[in-house]
């Protein structure tokens, strides 16, 4: 479960980004994140753990600084570094946390269960905004899609799941969604966890999920919402390995910029 606020205070936004978010040409998503974190008063901690490329973290740090924010990249390459006092001090002072893309299993195996992961949860419950792109988006929820098959049809063994940070248990997030044909693995994930909604987020697209559960879509693509509230039948429990899965009663929304979806009430709206 997400951490409960210790004080009467609004949670911070949770912002999954589908990857390839227009960093250099039209970084509207990142600008919105900076404004939310305080603009020139923002203190953004960049966590590039998922990436094996040295330049990933400094790229985002410089980009946020060019937008007027204070930003620091903190490379966390192993679990021991998650206990470092200076890292935790920087984390505690942040008004925004940004988790880069890469390999989401690096995130879960290095950060999972450490003071850094617990700190991110607590800070978000106290009003600090947390964004993640690509792999960084996948790990924001309680159940993380770690891998799986491409394609439009759900199949047994079609998805690999791992624990995420648990900032919300209301959604399961997939990224690069239409670009990499990931509907099938998102549906497979929901067949295991029909309590949650599925968010399939396209590249250069983000869902800004507020403390009240209301998500606003920003960007050039769409967020595909799969709502299993009315799911009446799933064959996942008895199909053979790699066979197609029957799911009856799902609801589907395809939301472009300016659309909203409330993950608490399961209602989709437009401005």
Q: Tokens 């204070």 sit at which residue? A: 70
Which is the catalytic residue, given 141, 176, 234, 259? Answer: 176
β-strand pairing of 143-148 with 129-133 = unpaired
271 pLDDT band, cuts 50/70/90, is confident
Q: Is the dihedral of CA 141, 142, 148, 153 positive or negative?
A: negative
Question: Is 134 a catalytic site residue?
Answer: yes
For range 97-104, the mean pLDDT: 98
Active site residue 80: no
Q: CA nearest 33: which of 3, 10, 60, 2?
A: 60
Residue 5 is assigned to a structural domain of this protein: no
Q: 141: domain range?
A: 14-270
Tell me whether residue 143 is one of the annotated catalytic residues. Answer: no
Catalytic residue among 108, 203, 216, 259: 203
Residue with tokens 């659309």: 259
Residue 36 pLDDT greater than 60, yes or no: yes
Instruction: Please report whether residue 8 resides in a domain.
Output: no
* 24 vs 47, more confident: 47
Q: What is the mean pLDDT of the chain?
A: 96
Which of 51, 71, 125, 134 is the catalytic position? 134
CATH, residue 128? 3.40.50.880
Residue with tokens 């799902």: 250
- Counted domains in the chain: 1
pLDDT tens-digit map of 218-263: 999 999 999 999 999 999 999 999 999 999 999 999 999 999 999 9
Residue 6 lies in a domain: no
**Is residue 186 a part of any domain in this protein?**
yes
For residue 266, tell me if it sits in a domain.
yes
1 within a domain of the structure (yes/no): no
Q: Is the pLDDT of residue 8 over 60?
A: no
The band of 2, judged by pLDDT with boundaries at 50, 70 and 90, is low
Q: Does residue 4 sit within a domain?
A: no
């Amino acid at each position: 479960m997400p951490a409960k606020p210790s004080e009467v205070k609004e949670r911070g936004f949770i912002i999954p980004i589908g990857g390839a978010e227009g960093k250099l040409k039209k970084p509207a998503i990142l600008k919105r994140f900076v404004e939310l974190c305080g603009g020139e008063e923002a203190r953004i901690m960049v966590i590039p753990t998922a990436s094996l490329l040295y330049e990933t973290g400094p790229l985002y740090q410089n980009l946020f600084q060019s937008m007027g924010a204070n930003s620091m990249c903190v490379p966390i390459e192993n679990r021991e570094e998650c206990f470092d006092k200076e890292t935790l001090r920087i984390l505690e002072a942040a008004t925004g946390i940004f988790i880069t893309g890469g390999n989401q299993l690096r995130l879960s195996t290095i950060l999972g269960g450490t003071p850094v992961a617990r700190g991110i949860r607590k800070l978000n419950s106290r009003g600090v905004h947390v964004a993640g792109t690509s792999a960084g988006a996948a790990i924001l929820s309680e159940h993380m899609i770690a891998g799986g098959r491409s394609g439009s049809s759900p199949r047994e063994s079609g998805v690999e799941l791992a624990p995420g940070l648990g900032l919300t248990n209301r959604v399961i997030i997939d990224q690069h969604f239409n670009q990499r044909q990931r509907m099938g693995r998102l549906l497979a994930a929901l067949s295991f966890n029909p309590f949650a909604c599925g968010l399939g987020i396209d590249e250069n697209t983000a869902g800004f999920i507020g403390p009240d559960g209301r998500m606003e879509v920003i960007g050039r693509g769409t967020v595909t919402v799969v709502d299993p509230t009315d799911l009446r039948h799933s064959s996942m429990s008895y199909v053979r390995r790699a066979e197609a899965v029957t799911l009856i009663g799902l609801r589907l929304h395809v939301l472009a910029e300016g659309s909203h979806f409330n993950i608490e009430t399961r209602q989709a709206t437009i401005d």
